[in-house]
Chain A
Amino acid sequence: MNTDELKKVAVEVRKDIIKMLELAGSGHPGGSLSAVELVVDLYYNHMNFNPKNPTDPNRDYFILSKGHVCPVLYAVLARLDCICCDELCTLRKIGSRLQGHPAMDKHLPGIEISTGSLGYGLSIAAGIAKGMKTLNKANRVYVLMGDGEQQEGSIWEAAMAAPHFKLDNLCAILDYNGLQIDGQVKDILNIDPIAEKYKAFGWNVISIDGHDFKQVDNAYVQAKQCKDKPTIIIAKTVKGKGVSFMENVAGWHGKAPNKEQTAQALAEIEAAK
């Protein structure tokens, strides 16, 4: 898909995120909106993933380490017809397959493992990647992480392991939106210089504007070409991107919009088409 088509998909995905959160009454808009281009481009242009056969043994794997932004994943899976768009209305409702954080036990197609406790996704992805290497399979493994999440020590165990085991089939994406619950990441527990840290750990590091589809697309291409080292794409993003009153506001990490805010948000997203 070309950039213009991808932008149209991104508009629909952003609208879906806002609508499903309003209906749920709770959830995480900020970090879902900042990750839209990263997830859309991955699923539409790069992931070997068949929505009609989500457990194909030759598929690429996607691990949503920052599990709280599952609305963006659910929305993309719905746009791909992997799940029904109507099901998006059931987010966080009792009995729903669309849990507040991705849940494997609900058997939603496209969810490889339950995530939501920050800091574990990189290890899980490294384990899958190691498995693919052991079996000499060409499947790739993608893992989306948050920047606040980099404060978890467990990330760094995996960050050492992936280059050590030469997992060049592993591509991590860091949604670098600068905010966490209590404020700016640099004020709570500074993670910078993050690119230099990953480089020092032995990763291939690609820094991009996470909302520029051309840059996002090129990064995924470059990641596939890198040999002997895992890749991390450090994507500078805006938390709450696409909704003016949410952009760069820490308070929109974990709050659902009300009816008026939803109407305004949808109008703004539509206008950006």
Chain B
Amino acid sequence: MVNVYGSKATRFGFGDALVELGRKDEKIFVLGADTVSSVAIDGFQKEFPNRFANVGIAETNLLGMAAGLAVAGFIPFVSTYGVFASGRPWEQIRTTICYSNLNVKIGGSHSGLMVGYDGATHQALEEISIMRCLPHMTVVVPCDVVETKKATMASAYHAGPVYIRYGRETIPTITQESDKFEIGKANVLKEGTDVCIAACGTMVYEALMASEILEKEGIKAQVLNIHTIKPIDKQAIIDSCKKCGAIVTAEEHQIFGGFGSAVAEVVVQNCPVPMEFVGINDTFGESGKPADLMVKYHLKDVDIVAAARKALTRKK
């Protein structure tokens, strides 16, 4: 039985955290880029108009001004859709923010295929790859609204630049307030011995559902929620691989260079075991109902199950 405690879009976790942070700390400054209410930062705007700026459809300036505000001593949070928060201003993030190790926190909303009807131009599928390769950058991909709020709160006082990846669509809430959250520490959600399913973001729920299917076939899957892609919890991955002898990764993201690759870097160097990747296979998305897209692009529990079975055939 997968415990579900409700359902809510993760962007509201980001937005709620900002308001709470804003009430505690005058150094919190928030910037938006014409997508203010859809990325749920309008709550902060309403309560702290003096510490908010909407720079319009100008994402390079969004990140540049955030960098300036960090130099001026603020803790700036920016948010817009993932493609435009990470891709368009990538060099500004690299050279202005990461190279100077500035305290800028980037909320990349509307990630993944589940953006839905807007289609490929707005479905961010690359942020993990292009953010984790930057020195000083911390990358967090929370699994639900509760975890997104915790990640946002934690990022404010985590030194240096942070990228938080979350989404537009309503998804199941699978963690609780009382669950521990620490940047850089993965959580074992379910113990297992036959195969480890390591997932991040929206795929954590699918991983739990997959483990239920596998259980009925007598396969005990460990489910590991790796919310922090960088710095990745190497020990948790190594422990899981030693215990299970096979690993599957799952992400709502391109396979090339993404979450699975980050996990593979640890596996290959420390505990090589049969490994399979579930993710987007080098293609762009398209318009459609979010749930239908997840099926079409093979990002469901059944796809994780198939990958697990494949990994198990190679297990010695």
Q: Which of B50, B67, B72 has the most CB of A within 10 A?
A: B72
Residue B60 is within 8 A (CB to CB) of chain A in the complex: yes
Contact present for B100 and A128 (CB under 8 Å):
no
Interface residues as binary, B226-259 with A (CB distance below 8 Å gives 1, 0 otherwise)? 0000000000000000000000000000000000
Residues on A with beta carbons closer than 8 Å to the beta carbon of B60: 119-120, 123, 153-154, 157
CB of B44, distance to nearest CB on chain A (Å): 14
CB of A246, distance to nearest CB on chain B (Å): 28
Contact present for B99 and A105 (CB under 8 Å):
yes
Q: Which of A61, A127, A132, A160 contacts B67 (CB 8 A)?
A: A127
Interface residues as binary, B48-76 with A (CB distance below 8 Å gives 1, 0 otherwise)? 00110101101011011111111111101
Binding site for A on B (CB under 8 A): 29, 50-51, 53, 55-56, 58, 60-61, 63-74, 76, 91-92, 95-96, 99-102
Residues on B with beta carbons closer than 8 Å to the beta carbon of A105: 99-101
- Contact flag A114-B99 (CB < 8 Å), given A130-B53, A134-B29: yes
Interface contacts beyond A126-B65, A161-B61: sample of 11 additional A-B pairs, CB < 8 Å, sorted by A: A61-B71, A105-B99, A122-B64, A123-B60, A126-B64, A127-B68, A134-B29, A134-B74, A135-B72, A157-B64, A161-B65
- Contact flag A120-B51 (CB < 8 Å), given A113-B71, A126-B68, A127-B64: no
CB of B67, distance to nearest CB on chain A (Å): 5
Provide the bound-state CA to CA distance between A115 and B68, in Å.
12
Contact present for B96 and A131 (CB under 8 Å):
no
> Closest A-chain residue to B60, C-beta based?
A154
Residue A125 is within 8 A (CB to CB) of chain B in the complex: yes
Provide the bound-state CA to CA distance between A135 and B72, in Å.
10
> Closest B-chain residue to A141, C-beta based?
B68
Residues on A with beta carbons closer than 8 Å to the beta carbon of B96: 113-115, 117, 120, 124
- Contact flag A131-B69 (CB < 8 Å), given A105-B100, A105-B101, A124-B96: yes
Residues on A with beta carbons closer than 8 Å to the beta carbon of B51: 134
CB of B3, distance to nearest CB on chain A (Å): 43
Contact present for B68 and A130 (CB under 8 Å):
yes
Provide the bound-state CA to CA distance between A112 and B69, in Å.
12
> Closest A-chain residue to B136, C-beta based?
A105
CB of A109, distance to nearest CB on chain B (Å): 15
CB of A153, distance to nearest CB on chain B (Å): 8
Contact present for A130 and B65 (CB under 8 Å):
yes
Residue A104 is within 8 A (CB to CB) of chain B in the complex: yes
> Closest A-chain residue to B51, C-beta based?
A134
> Closest B-chain residue to A67, C-beta based?
B95
Contact present for B92 and A120 (CB under 8 Å):
yes
Provide the bound-state CA to CA distance between A61 and B92, in Å.
20
Residues on B with beta carbons closer than 8 Å to the beta carbon of A161: 55-56, 58, 61, 65
Provide the bound-state CA to CA distance between A134 and B95, in Å.
26
Residues on B with beta carbons closer than 8 Å to the beta carbon of A61: 71
Residues on A with beta carbons closer than 8 Å to the beta carbon of B68: 123-131
Q: Which of A57, A116, A130, A154 contacts B69 (CB 8 A)?
A: A130
Contact present for B69 and A128 (CB under 8 Å):
yes
Provide the bound-state CA to CA distance between A105 and B160, in Å.
12
Contact present for B61 and A126 (CB under 8 Å):
yes
Query: Which A residues from 70 to 125 make CB contacts under 8 A with B?
Result: 103-105, 112-117, 119-120, 122-125
Residues on B with beta carbons closer than 8 Å to the beta carbon of A119: 60
Contact present for A104 and B61 (CB under 8 Å):
no
Residues on A with beta carbons closer than 8 Å to the beta carbon of B53: 130, 165
CB of B279, distance to nearest CB on chain A (Å): 31
Contact present for A114 and B71 (CB under 8 Å):
no
> Closest A-chain residue to B73, C-beta based?
A131
Provide the bound-state CA to CA distance between A61 and B70, in Å.
13
9 tightest CB-CB pairs across the interface, nearest first?
A: A127-B68, A123-B64, A131-B72, A127-B65, A157-B61, A157-B58, A128-B68, A154-B60, A104-B100
CB of A13, distance to nearest CB on chain B (Å): 25
Contact present for A132 and B72 (CB under 8 Å):
yes
Provide the bound-state CA to CA distance between A136 and B293, in Å.
50
CB of B245, distance to nearest CB on chain A (Å): 42
